Structure 1
């Protein structure tokens, strides 16, 4: 994560993601989509949850890499689709600067594009989002987090008596 770019953090739990996706689906429920196109990798899990909520069985992917946890790099399209998106729901977890969104919009100009989260620079490129966050906010998604065992306090203090009385 580039320290100079991100000054806020927003951690999304699995429960929060499920609630947010379900809320995102309410305005979509009456629409009849041919299928869903997920933008990989971030859009895969929201697309699966949306597919369940909307009872959509046909899911395709657009595979693009534009950034990782360190910085944004060159856009690399690894897999596209062979239609213009007419009647399809395009799904990603987040629209950030809009770099990926712009490329996918060009590929699928007729798709209805939704993201669960959106930042101001990319927000105009999507048709619908649920939650808007600041541009300098790093969103920590649950699939990027791991669970770790935490020893009971009594065991920690036996190993390091100097921590007695410490609120940490």
Structure 2
């Protein structure tokens, strides 16, 4: 079984972000919490669309070394509870694959007394380890998504594949 890779352009990202932000028009969020690293670009773009200026970051990893996955996440950076407590927090990542990362962030926001709302560009329901799904997403897919902000080596693969 071969992996289907879908390479996105910046123009496609702008269109996906506009569609995602449109779904959230009229919703109130006290802050936007960007999940690093993949969620940084979509979070910044969504913040512009929704007029949000209070942007926080969550750095999460599920590995302890090269290729060594861990069961529990390590939070390398996370906002202090007072920034989340009694606030509606829009959590943004690029993709919900297994869902482990955004679910860990969501759980931590809940523990701090916040109301989490999740948003991603792409959702992989067949890969998800959770019954829950993102509150907002634009596309459902099984493909390996390659975003334009990913390392050049991934982008070079796209050039060779389309040559």
Alignment TM class, shorter chain as reference: 0.7 to 0.9
- Mind listing any 5+ residue stretches in structure 1 that lack a counterpart? 149-167
**1:103 corresponds to:** 104
**1:138 paired to 2:152:** no
What RMSD in Å do the two structures reach over aligned CA positions? 2.4
Question: Equivalences for 1:1-168 in 2 at 5 Å?
Answer: 7-66=3-62, 73-74=69-70, 75-81=73-79, 82=81, 83-84=84-85, 86-109=87-110, 110-120=115-125, 121-122=127-128, 124-134=132-142, 137-146=143-152
The alignment's TM-score, normalised by the length of structure 2, stands at: 0.76
Q: Relative to structure 1, is the Cα distance of residues 20 and 58 closer, same or farther in structure 2, using a 3 angstrom cutoff?
A: same
Q: Relative to structure 1, is the Cα distance of residues 45 and 64 closer, same or farther in structure 2, using a 3 angstrom cutoff?
A: same
**Which has the larger Rg?**
1
- Mind listing any 5+ residue stretches in structure 2 that lack a counterpart? 157-162
**Alignment: residue pair count:** 141
The alignment's TM-score, normalised by the length of structure 1, stands at: 0.74
